[in-house]
Structure 1
């Protein structure tokens, strides 16, 4: 088990990383700005720090410099959405362990942390220390989108396909059950409010047919009884509509990890 500090102003991402890393047995603390992160680092002395570069008060490089003054040998992994060769080189000159972009899957991030624990002495500028943009598990994952709104199906299909997933879609409950039984997708993104057979009925039929993949509910329904029933049937997450694509992508990443089979 390692003590890990996550410094990022995106609270949703911090919460997701905290839950994922804790599920892997790590002790995880979070900070939402640079000064809070430095103070937490000084107090906690984590084994690893996951650090964003774009913070609201002081930028990630200033945080990294202060961390280096406190502990020159501490492992720091940059996790950022503003990756350039120049920024990466600047970070490596300050002795980071790895430089990752936020568009990577959580599988890759967890793998980077695990590798860093196994190889703590790897220099930051060595070829083995650079992950770059590795092959993720996305290419092996199939996702079934079930929604009666054609625009939603098409948007999610295009977006997730560009992310590297194999995407299937169904416009109603009966089609979803048939497709899921035949294709056995790793994850189903399921709407609740559909004509004829609602999402809960679809999920009930799938469980009766021993479908053991993950299910993430994406819906505008606020009926607590229906949502609780979906959870009781093994839904991993419920994401409310409307939701931006990045929020949906993060929820899918987490759902795939939690539903591994």
Structure 2
């Protein structure tokens, strides 16, 4: 609930500031997940979709903490951070970015940010940055029904090949995919809907996501957009019960790694997962260890 500071007594105003957080991100789904989590910790949360809205909210509600995406339309994160800190240097600023950039991180810290996190940020880390260092964050109660990570039932003894998050509202298919992946050497985690899946990505990012495209509430394409905003490099394979080519084109254009239809061709899915995992390994290698493109 938004509260104008002028409407509060001095004591109430101080109390409000201590527990108020402004979330600024142009991805509505990501704002919703962060809002749900922080409200579950007992904080008052307000939202803004861009830097200009953030400035208006800061001047009106005087939040104690601002969580700010670095890349937004209508006044980007760094410019917004500079103006917010100029207006009220006591505000705690936490920056979220989808780009690994040391120069940008140093610039944000120099402008007064307390922390800079690369998406996806673990919710526990975000909670500590907000100021809950002495307490353990509570898991979101609504939507968040993701299972814990399950180890593989077969595969290398040294550990799982990779960690796969399955997001599907069909309990039978969700469990079947989990069992199949487990027998192929993958660790698995299961989520029942898009919001729960997004929270799972933020809690402990997987290597690959299998995402149902048709779910109630936050559907697969909307969840894909939000997950890509949180974790741009995360490989997401869409699973659909329809052969609608327009839908598959939209999903691939939105950044899906691959697209499989039900009934699932498990041989094709296995090949797609192996390719995604291989690409992850190549992308995560330091530049000096990547296969040379030519003569040294």
Relative to the length of structure 1, the TM-score reads 0.51
TM-fit CA distance, 1:67: 0.6
The equivalent position to 1:188 in structure 2, one of 166, 179, 190, is: 190
1:57 aligns with 2:74: yes
Figure out how many residues of one structure are paired with residues of the other and give that number.
168
Distance in 2 of aligned mates of 1:3 and 1:37: 14
SS in 2 for 1:99: strand
The equivalent position to 1:142 in structure 2, one of 128, 149, 166, is: 149
SS in 2 for 1:72: coil
Q: Say if 1:9 and 1:32, in contact at 8 Å, map to a contact too.
A: yes
Distance in 1 of aligned mates of 2:95 and 2:112: 11
* Deviation per residue, 1:65-120 (Å, 9 max, x gap): 111121012110001112311001101111111111112222322232234799xx
Q: Which residue in the other structure is 1:80 paired with?
A: 97
Distance in 2 of aligned mates of 1:175 and 1:83: 32
Structure 1 pair 42–173 and aligned structure 2 pair: CA distance change class (3 A): closer
Q: Say if 2:51 and 2:72, in contact at 8 Å, map to a contact too.
A: yes
1:106 aligns with 2:123: yes
Q: Say if 2:29 and 2:226, in contact at 8 Å, map to a contact too.
A: no
TM-fit CA distance, 1:61: 1.2
Structure 1 pair 23–186 and aligned structure 2 pair: CA distance change class (3 A): farther
Structure 1 pair 38–56 and aligned structure 2 pair: CA distance change class (3 A): same
TM-fit CA distance, 1:186: 9.4
Q: Which residue in the other structure is 1:235 paired with?
A: none
Structure 1 pair 56–142 and aligned structure 2 pair: CA distance change class (3 A): same
Distance in 1 of aligned mates of 2:76 and 2:174: 48
Q: Which residue in the other structure is 2:41 paired with?
A: 24
SS in 1 for 2:120: coil
Q: Which shifted more, 39-48 or 108-117?
A: 108-117
Q: Name stretches of at least 5 consecutive residues in structure 1 with no aligned partner.
A: 119-139, 146-156, 164-169, 192-217, 228-237, 251-261
Q: Name stretches of at least 5 consecutive residues in structure 2 with no aligned partner.
A: 1-17, 136-146, 153-159, 166-171, 194-210, 231-296
Q: Which residue in the other structure is 1:48 paired with?
A: 65
Distance in 2 of aligned mates of 1:96 and 1:172: 41
The equivalent position to 1:33 in structure 2, one of 37, 45, 50, is: 50
Q: Say if 1:79 and 1:100, in contact at 8 Å, map to a contact too.
A: yes
TM-fit CA distance, 1:8: 0.7
Structure 1 pair 51–171 and aligned structure 2 pair: CA distance change class (3 A): closer
1:95 aligns with 2:112: yes
Distance in 2 of aligned mates of 1:68 and 1:81: 22
Q: Say if 1:7 and 1:33, in contact at 8 Å, map to a contact too.
A: yes
1:15 aligns with 2:32: yes
Structure 1 pair 73–117 and aligned structure 2 pair: CA distance change class (3 A): farther
Distance in 1 of aligned mates of 2:188 and 2:177: 17
* Deviation per residue, 1:123-149 (Å, 9 max, x gap): xxxxxxxxxxxxxxxxx941489xxxx
SS in 2 for 1:57: coil
